Amino acid sequence: MGIQVQGIMVQVWSGELLHIHIAPSASYEMEELTEARLVAGKGIEGDRYFLGTGTYSPKPDVRDITLIEAEVLEQLALGEPKIPGIKLNLSPADHRRNLTTRGVPVNHLIGKRFRVGETILRGARLNFPCKYIEELLGMPRLFEGLLNRSGLNCSIESGGIIRPGDRILPLED
């Protein structure tokens, strides 16, 4: 979708929050929530990174909350891209990111602010896949399938409540 601004086509997007997941500690099974409280500069109440018990705690960088696109999961199931061409069925609880979104260009949101429900997030850096998730899930080659599309680490600038179905909208900087 785009709009015309002074003769230039500008891309506009809006997305949706599909799933919210947390885990109390590293390696624990992810729990799906019907709503979550986000705390600025800290994370999702009850999540391993909020509690400091995640694999990458203490945080080497911004990791208040992580997002991944549902479209990535759908492409993995189809074996796209053709290289590496592996087909993997990865559920929203399996990818170990906090939020699963639809219609959100997460790879383009580094340094950008956006609204999720009541909250405001800022994209910090792309999330790197790791061999740990392959071992945890018993899915060889998952690392390859997630290269360059493993999600986005974000800071929480303004906290509040989020729920599946909330709109995700870009904000002007």
Is 93 within a domain? yes
Give the CATH number, domain containing residue 134: 2.40.33.20
User: Tokens for 92?
Assistant: 């929203």
Q: 65 versus 55: which is more confidently predicted?
A: 65
| Residue 139, in any domain of the structure | yes
pLDDT single digits (tens) 93-143: 998 999 999 999 999 999 999 999 999 999 999 998 878 788 888 888 888
Say if 143 falls within a structural domain. yes
pLDDT for the residue 60 = 59
- Domains of the chain: total: 1
Q: What is the pLDDT of residue 33?
A: 98
Q: Kindly tell me the burial class for residue 85, based on how many C-beta atoms sit within 10 Å of its own C-beta (0-12, 13-18, 19 or more).
A: exposed
* Domain-embedded: residue 9: no
pLDDT in tens, 18-61: 999 999 988 889 999 999 999 999 999 999 989 888 776 665 57
**What's the domain range around 58?**
14-170
Residue 7 is assigned to a structural domain of this protein: no
> Does residue 171 surpass a pLDDT of 60?
yes
pTM (2 decimals)?
Answer: 0.89
